[in-house]
């Protein structure tokens, strides 16, 4: 690296180095902000500020780690999601901006569907970092929120995030909806971002080599988990209920058909994200007048 150790020089070097290694040049800014504990506006305003040798070497190491394929979020240990900071590691899927749109859709459907949310039971299935469950609880505190995951290590991370963010969540370990079926617990709201990537789809090495495959891949066509949801949901949903799932682009009609097969009278909607891609499927079941 160059001898003139300023913020400007650090960002310039990182940008060029990451580009040369096929990575996002903006990652350097994220890593340096974390290293110096600065806001973006302050970092950009103080580009002539010198960087101490120790901080410089740590930043260089982090940039080289990312260039080699390690996710930025694993290097700094967290990701921002829905205005909050969630701890992440290799045991959980890194929360994506697309999933924030799932939260938005669920909140809108909840407010438009139920006259009162007080005491309603909501569950985040395959919670991972806990981002969905914690966000729902903090955005609508009157909900009773559960979160489940097959992975014990993922649940430990979700529990840490819930504790840090003061979100009261009940955690259950088990495969998909099985913990709720076994306990006889009925749910008003089910939300999930299940694995939906077809196994043959090629991903960036940053993703495929560092994030849990069990949270990414959903079988040959990516629909395995939606098939299971379609068969298991009738066992846990109340007569009036909302279910919402994140999906991959192009999967909307297939997921809609799967759900319609088990809920022929339900209102099912495929929602596109901000980029126009199919991203969310919602299901509303109305068997009795909503309270």
User: Can you say which residues are annotated as belonging to the binding site for substrate?
Assistant: 193-196
Long-range contacts of 251-255 (CB under 8 A, 24+ apart): 251/196, 251/222, 251/223, 251/226, 251/278, 252/278, 252/281, 254/221, 254/223, 254/226, 255/223, 255/226, 255/281
CB 113 within 8 A of CB 103: no
- Distance, CA of 260 to CA of 19 (rounded, Å): 46
**Binding-site residues:** 126-130, 149, 193-196
Q: Under 8 Å CB-to-CB from 236, ≥6 apart: which residues?
A: 177, 180, 181, 185, 186, 187, 190
**Binding-site residues for S-adenosyl-L-methionine:** 126-130, 149, 193
Residue 107, CA distances (Å) to 95, 103, 172, 279 in order: 18, 6, 23, 16
């Amino acid at each position: 690296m160059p001898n003139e150790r300023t913020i400007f020089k650090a960002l310039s070097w990182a940008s060029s180095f990451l580009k040369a290694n096929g990575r996002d040049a903006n990652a350097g800014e994220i890593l340096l902000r974390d290293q110096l504990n600065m806001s973006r506006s302050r970092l950009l305003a103080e580009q002539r500020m010198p960087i101490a040798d120790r901080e410089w070497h740590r930043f260089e190491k982090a940039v080289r780690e990312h260039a080699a394929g390690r996710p930025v979020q694993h290097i700094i240990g967290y990701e921002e999601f829905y205005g909050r900071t969630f701890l992440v590691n290799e045991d959980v899927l890194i929360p994506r901006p697309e999933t924030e749109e799932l939260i938005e859709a669920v909140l809108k459907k909840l407010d438009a569907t139920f006259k009162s949310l007080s005491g309603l039971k909501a569950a985040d299935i395959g919670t991972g970092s806990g981002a969905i469950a914690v966000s729902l609880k903090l955005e609508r505190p009157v909900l009773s929120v559960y979160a489940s995951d097959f992975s014990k290590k993922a649940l430990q991370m979700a529990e840490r995030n819930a504790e840090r963010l003061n979100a009261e969540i009940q955690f259950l370990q088990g495969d998909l909806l099985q913990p709720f079926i076994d306990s006889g617990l009925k749910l008003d709201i089910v939300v999930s971002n299940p694995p939906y990537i077809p196994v043959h789809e090629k991903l960036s090495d940053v993703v495929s080599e560092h994030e849990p495959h069990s949270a990414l891949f959903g079988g040959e066509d990516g629909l395995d988990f939606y098939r299971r949801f379609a068969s298991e949901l009738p066992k846990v949903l109340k007569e009036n209920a909302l279910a919402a799932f994140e999906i991959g682009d192009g999967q909307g009609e297939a997921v809609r058909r799967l759900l319609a097969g088990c809920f022929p009278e339900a209102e099912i909607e495929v929602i596109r994200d901000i980029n126009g891609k199919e991203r969310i499927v919602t299901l509303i079941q109305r068997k009795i007048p909503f309270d």
